Structure 1
Amino acid sequence: MEDTATILHSIVKYKGTQPTDLEDILAIEEPLEIKIKHPEEGPGETHTLAVTMRTPGEDEALALGFLFTEGIITSPQQVDYVEAPFWTPNSITVHLQKGATIKMPDQKRNFYTTSSCGVCGKASIEAIKTVSSFVINRHTAPVGMDVIYGLMDSLHHQQSVFSTTGGLHASALFTTDGTLAYLCEDVGRHNALDKAIGKALQGELLPLKDNILLLSGRASFELLQKANMAGIPIVVALGAPSSLAVQTAQSFGITLIGFLKTHSFNIYTFPERIK
């Protein structure tokens, strides 16, 4: 994680009734305006798609992951380049290839999103049921239970900024043998996942049919929807899943695991994938 992710702040810490002046490390939260530009439009014509509150760093992956998981782009070949000028650090523009056909979202959507909610402002639940380009194979080879138990240790060893601030969510992509592929952190759980999927998109690794997604918190509907867009067959959360997350996993053929601990976890859908 880049050093732009944290900042020092002076605090007064109380232990009982005894005050101590200290420096605390805070996770940075700043807005990012995600824009898109087609080469066939005029020089100054861009479209703002979203303003999301995020932790600075990996903004290009975040923008590409957001466009992909929202179904606006379907492959990296549709993108010419991403412009993130240093003089506008909170704005990023995705320039499309000439002739690229994309799916612009419904105009009814309010594109402001917060760091805690990936679906806020959408006109209805129907507006976020994006059709994935990939179909998850429900008969994939099972994953060993030892791999699932090993995920949490790997996350704790790698999630550096969380350990210093306690203020970030993490999304980690592992191969089915437990090898860490990508780890991304952000104040927004949906941003962290968009960053990870964006990196996989940049590497032309989609669909992630041989990967496991580990979430540092709870499993919500929007995270399962994004996992489905990337073709991820197994989602593991350290926290609880929501009822809609379970329904979504069931619909998409995703094995959903929650409450992962050192010696226990719950399987909510498709338990046959875990041996």
Structure 2
Amino acid sequence: MGRVTERRRVIRIRDGAVSTRPDTLVAEEPLEIRLGGKPLAITMRTPGDDFALAAGFLVSEGVLASAAELANIVYCAGATGEGGSNSYNVVDVRLADGVPVPDISLERNVYTTSSCGLCGKASLDAVRTTARWPLDTSPDTPVRIEPATLSTLPDRLRAAQRVFERTGGLHAAALFTTDGELLDIREDVGRHNAVDKIVGRALQQGQLPLSSCVLMVSGRASFELVQKAVMAGIPVLAAVSAPSSLAVDLAVETGLTLVGFLRGTSMNVYAGEHRLALSAAASTD
């Protein structure tokens, strides 16, 4: 349970010299998420924070919005590996009494990989209509962040990635205040899983919506990551790499501030520029 890394023998070649050595790899195992005993999704993830991952996944799906709506999450006793021991790769989520259980059909029963998230569900309307906390799109919104503060977040994210330093094979998601204070960070082989773990922990601690936070992610900003930020009430999403076209469309539709290619003092703002404390009008060149 909770194996984050594993050791493997590798052949190392450096400048023509060949040697053997142990290498530390990030662990990747499947996690089946059940809702009320019924299979809902399977995701490839790094073991650890599995209950938070499941809770965050259900926030992004519009099923959960507060800790009061969650009865409990348990590992299924039937999840057995070799030798009859529990593999801890199946979790079952039980909703609180009175919370409606969504219809789980083949359309909603999804397999998610560590790279793409919910590849089969890319609907702007679905996110817009199910979001519990519509983002404030007014230019007078109190959430403001300095570009200089944004520029510090990638280094702060990287410095807090403990497992990445050992493996070089993990994505990360982190929550910051608008002053750049690190609130939480999670690592996972899948960037969407890292975000789910962040959001799930916030739900468990009664902190949703995260309406005064900035979400920083390694890698690119996909539609799924924008979706997860919107569903958690996060107004600002920043990524070190590029967004997809659909991610930008969703950010514009929902009023999310979306920043990509955040590297040093350089960044591209794709939507929601009213939350950035810009000193001069943007050029149209």
Length-normalised TM-score, structure 2: 0.87
Q: In the TM superposition, what is the alpha-carbon distance from 1:212 to its structure 2 partner?
A: 0.2
Per-residue deviation, residues 203-250 of structure 1 (Å, max 9, x unmatched): 111111100000111001111011100111111000111111111111
The match for 2:33 is 34
Distance 1:162 1:128, change over 3 A: farther
The size of the alignment, in residue pairs, is 265
Aligned to 2:63: 72
Q: Which residue number in structure 2 is paired with residue 135 of structure 1? A: 134
Task: Determine whether 1:56 maps to 2:47.
Answer: yes
Cα distance in 2 for residues equivalent to 1:30 and 1:201: 24
Q: Give 1:121 shift.
A: 4.1
Runs of 4+ in structure 1 over 6 Å off: none
Q: Which residue of 1 aligns with 2:178?
A: 176
- CA distance in structure 2 between the partners assigned to 1:162 and 1:265 by the alignment: 24
What residue number does 1:255 align with?
A: 257
CA RMSD for the aligned pairs? Answer: 1.9
AA in 1 matched with 2:141: T
The AA in structure 2 aligned to 1:241 is P
% identical aligned pairs: 45
> Of residues 192, 195, 216 in structure 2, which corresponds to 1:193?
195
Q: Aligned partners of 1:3 and 1:264: how far apart in 2?
A: 37
Aligned counterparts, 1:111-260, within 5 A: 111-122=110-121, 125=123, 129=127, 131-138=130-137, 139-141=140-142, 142-260=144-262
Task: State the Cα deviation string for residues 159-207 of structure 1 (Å, max 9, x = none).
Answer: 1111221111111111111111111111111111100000110111111
Structure 2 vs 1, CA of residues 104 and 72 (structure 1 numbering), >3 Å: closer, same or farther? Answer: farther
- Shift of residue 88 of structure 1? 3.8
SS in 1 for 2:8: strand
Amino acid aligned to 1:268: Y
Distance 1:27 1:239 in 2: 22
What residue in structure 1 maps to residue 8 of structure 2? 9
The amino acid across from 2:150 in the alignment is I
Determine the C-alpha separation between the residues in 2 that align with 1:199 and 1:255. Answer: 23
Q: Distance in 1 between matches of 2:63 and 2:90?
A: 18
Q: Distance in 1 between matches of 2:102 and 2:125?
A: 13
C-alpha displacement at 1:98, in angstroms?
2.5
Structure 1, gaps ≥5 residues long: 38-45
Q: 1:145: how far off?
A: 2.2
Aligned to 1:93: 92
Name the CA distance, whole Å, in 1 between partners of 2:16 and 2:184. 44
